[in-house]
Amino acid sequence: MKHVLESVESQFEMFQILDENGKVVNKDAMPDLSDDNLKELMRRMVYTRILDQRSMALNRQGRLGFYAPTAGQEASQLGSHFALETEDFVLPGYRDVPQLIWHGLPLYQAFLFSKGHFHGNQMPEGVNALSPQIIIGAQYTQTAGVALGMKKRGKKSVAITYTGDGGTSQGDFYEGINFAGAFGAPAIFVVQNNYFAISVPVEKQTKAKTLAQKAVAAGIEGIQVDGMDVLAVYAATKNARERAINSEGPTLIETLTYRYGPHTTAGDDPTRYRTEELDNEWEKKDPLVRFRKFLEGKNLWSEEEENKVIEEAKDDIKQAIKKADGYPKQKVTELISHMFEELPMNLEEQMEEYKEKESK
Amino acid sequence: MAQMTMIQAITDALRTELKNDENVLVFGEDVGQNGGVFRATEGLQKEFGEDRVFDTPLAESAIGGLSIGLALQGFRPVPEIQFFGFVYEAMDSINGQMARIRYRSGDTRHAPITIRSPFGGGVHTPELHADSLEGLIAQQPGIKVVIPSTPKDAKGLLISAIRDNDPVMFLEHMKLYRSFRDEVPEEEYTIELGKADVKREGKDVTIISYGAMVHSALKAAEDLEKNNVEAEVIDLRTVSPIDIDTILESVQKTNRVVFVQEAQRQAGVAAHVISEIQERAILHLEAPILRVTAPDTVYSFSQAEEVWLPNHKDIVEKVNEVINF
């Protein structure tokens, strides 16, 4: 038995391109990205780091509601998203708002999602995505369906979804990857392993040495990636996408990453379950630090450029929160009208009742 | 017109919609080449191909998730859950997901999904095959629950369900699959969802029912007639939403109501319907509304179905109580 485990685990060694110092350690795997692309990747990561800082602050001021911090996961979230095309469909988890924003969801709507307003979930026409999924695992089985739908339509696109390390314990996680495998559907399943599901360390989720090896149960490709290395995450996703649109089926990608903040802003205190040493260790692996070093080495990035992005982000956020704050309040009649195409009799009655209340 | 069993009428409705709309997809466990464990999808894969009618791995939750994903790509999924007792596996994908998708997306996404599933007692099935769990889905906003009792209703309601652009749970009583034949029009037709049907007119008491209990109620009505009690039998056909208008019209005429369901007393939809009637028509009532239901135990071991399931005698008894109140 031991022999089997070791030989399985040896198939899932961490894929890395940039080390902590921004040095290329795997030249052959270097993705084909133009200088502009590289800069755009950095711009998005910096912007998203600022978005996280501002979101935390806005949440503390009571101007945002539900918020799941993203700092530390920029390479994992944005490197994978950068490998997508507009026609690809994104099924995010609750921490995956940044991917939605870069896929086309306006920032003020992301804020409305946080505040609990239906307009935050109204994807603009052409933005192929669902709003963040709260039920951990549900996005995985739905992704198998979207991907099968694309295959049936003959589209050259993929469905991509995200969950965390804890989410790999759910039944829907296994069912989702297994269905996609059985149907040969063009799906990319990303597991963002930040080592903790709220307070529970990944060792308590499973005895498996890697999460990527769970792909074996579905008979699909699996890869473990350094989730703090944006080039590695991009390359792995790009590869999975190419395989998917060439009818080679789905891929499971595990990104090894870390959230510097709490699980959510709803009262979670990470000092109860994480040590300072651990935090420090992961800060050394910061995806922004290493990619900044890499770009500076190529003369593609400067402090000036970074500050410009920071200012731009802060301005956008200011405008967006203003717009979100000023957005019309929800009415019960609106909620009723979003239930069905044609209202059943009970809702028709209740619609009249609330119309009257709202007119007073 | 043709003589059809309910299962044939269901197959006919599926064939009609597979033909009418290329977005209709039929899938589930053993629904493809095998034609379904009850032959409901017999011949459909052969006629429409594996791309339209296909088997899935054995996992109800993912069948639900698959349906949602396919709906997001513009398909009109008609998945099957082999027995409704297995709905617990798919509860999140149904109540937690597809029923909410139009609302949670602010009307920008929708799920035109019809889930077919057999249920119901009297045929000695093993554990968790026959349970009446319609009450669980009826409590979820965003999904309709349809339960036909005749071949003709089954075809018209299933075509309507498939064409509906919101999710519908279509529950097929196993005992009714082949228990009798009925005239069913060969051409396509629809029956509006949310509309009850008066299966027998009467002036003394209203018996409201659905599923297999409609036939027990009709049998009870025949017995009652011998004692000069004219019972009106209403078949709800859709148990969520409820057709209150048809019920009220009858109650105002008969002033007495008995509600009959196969589900346990604490389950089903009886309590909801009775509450609606008392809110809207209490001044028309000459007696309390009584219920005929199964006892509040777990569904019976198959050998005990005969003593456990409600039957026409129980109905006659309750009607007499209401008449003599």
> Can you give the pLDDT at residue A2?
63
Residue B287's closest CA among B318, B314, B316?
B318
Average pLDDT over residues A3-21: 94
Tell me which H or E stretch contains B276: helix B270-281
Does residue A74 register a pLDDT over 70?
yes
Q: Does B71 touch chain A (CB under 8 A)?
A: yes
Contacting residues of A for B66, CB less than 8 Å apart = 141-142, 144-145, 148, 179
Both structure tokens of B83: 């027995």
Residues B17, A135: Cα–Cα separation, whole Å: 33
pLDDT digits (tens, 9 = 90+) for A290-300: 999 999 999 99
What long-range pairs does B104-107 form, CB within 8 A, spacing at least 24?
A: B104/A118, B104/A121, B104/A131, B105/A121, B105/A122, B105/A123, B105/A130, B105/A131, B106/A118, B106/A119, B106/A121, B106/A122, B106/A338, B107/A122, B107/A337, B107/A338
In this predicted structure, what is the pLDDT of residue A227?
98
User: Which residues does chain B have within 8 Å of residue A159's beta carbon, measured at their own beta carbons?
Assistant: 69
Instruction: For residue B241, say if its preceding peptide bond is cis, omega within 30 degrees of 0.
Output: yes
Interval A226-253: pLDDT, tens: 999 999 999 999 999 999 999 999 999 9
Ramachandran angles phi, psi of B231, nearest 5°? -95, 135
> Coil, strand, or helix at residue B177?
coil
pLDDT tens, residue by residue, A152-197? 999 999 999 999 999 999 999 999 999 999 999 999 999 999 999 9
List B238's β-bridge partners, or say none: B146
Query: HSE on the CB side for A222, CA within 13 Å?
Result: 23
Q: Are B264 and B271 in contact (CB under 8 A)?
A: no
Q: What is the mean pLDDT of chain B?
A: 98
**The pLDDT of residue A3:** 81
Closest CA to B79 of B22, B34, B40, B127: B40
Tokens 């593609």, residue located: A300
pLDDT average, residue stretch A67-73? 96
Out of A138, A144, A341, closest to residue B166 by CB: A341
Task: Report helix, strand or coil for A82.
Answer: helix
As a whole-number percent, the residues of chain A with pLDDT over 90 amount to 97
pLDDT, position B196: 98
pLDDT tens profile B182-222:
999 999 999 999 999 999 999 999 999 999 999 999 999 99
Report how far apart, in Å, the C-alpha atoms of B79 and of each of A143, B36, B137, B256 are.
17, 12, 16, 40
Closest Cα of chain A to B269: distance in Å?
15
Angle ∠(B118,B124,B129) on CA atoms, nearest 5: 35
Tens-digit pLDDT profile for residues B247-279: 999 999 999 999 999 999 999 999 999 999 999
Q: What is the pLDDT of residue B229?
A: 98
Using the predicted structure, report yes or no on whether residue A267 has a pLDDT greater than 90.
Answer: no
> Six-digit token pair at B126?
């093993």
Q: Do B61 and A131 touch (CB under 8 A)?
A: no
- Pick from A29, A3, A4: which is nearest to A14 by CA? A29
Question: In this predicted structure, what is the pLDDT of residue B1?
Answer: 85
Mean pLDDT of the A132-137 span: 98
C-alpha–C-alpha distance, residues A205 and A197, integer Å: 9
DSSP letter for A63, please.
S
| pLDDT tens-digit readout, B152-163 | 999 999 999 999
Using the Cβ of B296 and the Cβ atoms of chain A, whether some distance falls under 8 Å is answered with: no
User: Residue type for A344, please?
Assistant: P
Measure B92 CA to nearest chain A CA, in Å: 8
Q: How far is B99 from chain A (nearest CA, A)?
A: 9
B-chain residues within 8 Å CB-CB of A182? 56-57
B50 touches chain A (CB under 8 A): no
Contact A122 B243 (CB under 8 A): no
User: What is the rounded average pLDDT of the residues A85-103?
Assistant: 98
Tell me whether residue B114 is exposed, middle or buried, using C-beta atoms within 10 angstroms of its C-beta: 0 to 12, 13 to 18, 19 or more: buried
The pLDDT of residue A1 is 55
List, by residue number, the catalytic residues of A. Answer: 259, 263, 273
From B244, which residue of chain A is nearest by alpha-carbon distance? A345
List chain A residues with CB under 8 Å of B146.
none
Burial of B51 (0-12, 13-18, 19+ CB in 10 A): exposed
Neighbouring C-beta atoms of residue A270, cutoff 10 Å: 18
Residue A67, pLDDT > 70, answer yes
Delimit the domains of chain A by residue range. 2-329, 332-360
Dig out the tokens for B285 from the structure: 């009532």
Minimal CA separation from B324 to chain A, in Å: 33
Name the residue facing B57 among A119, A179, A345 (closest C-beta): A179
Percentage, residues of chain B above pLDDT 70: 100
Retrieve residue B229's tokens: 């009690």
Per-residue pLDDT averaged across A303-315, rounded? 98
Which residues of B are annotated as catalytic?
A: 129
Q: Is A289 in a helix, a strand, or coil?
A: helix
The alpha-carbon gap from B71 to the nearest alpha carbon of chain A, in Å, equals: 8
How does residue A16 score in pLDDT terms, banded at 50, 70 and 90?
A: very high
Q: Do A142 and B65 touch (CB under 8 A)?
A: yes
> What are the chain B neighbours of A347 within 8 Å (beta carbons)?
241
Compare all CA atoms of chain A with the CA of B144 and give the residue at the minimum distance. A344
CB atoms within 10 A of CB A278: 15
Inter-residue contact A146 to A159 (CB < 8 Å)? yes
Indicate which of A327, A338, A347 best probes the interface with B, i.e. most B CBs within 10 Å of its own CB.
A338
H helices of chain A, where? Answer: 2-9, 35-60, 74, 80-82, 97-103, 107-115, 138-153, 171-182, 215-218, 230-245, 276-283, 287-297, 303-326, 332-337, 345-359
Q: How far is B256 from chain A (nearest CA, A)?
A: 23
Q: How far is CA A94 from the centre of its chain?
A: 8
Cβ atoms of A151 and A115 closer than 8 Å: no
For the question of an ipTM over 0.95, the answer is yes
Average pLDDT of span A39-62: 97
| B50 to chain A: closest CA residue | A152
Percent of chain B, pLDDT > 90? 100
* Residue B57 sits at the chain A interface (C-beta within 8 Å): yes
Instruction: Average the pLDDT over B87-106 and give the result.
Output: 98
B67: nearest CA in chain A?
A145
Positive or negative, the Cα torsion across B234, B237, B239, B241? negative
State whether residue B279 sits within 8 Å of chain A by CB: no
Task: Assess contact for A174 and A220: CB atoms under 8 A.
Answer: no
Q: Return mean pLDDT, chain A.
A: 97
CA-nearest residue of chain A to B99?
A339
| Sign, Cα dihedral of B299, B136, B144, B80 | negative
Domain spanning A2-329: CATH 3.30.930.10: no
Comparing C-alpha atoms, which of A32, A169, A40, A159 is closest to residue A102?
Answer: A40
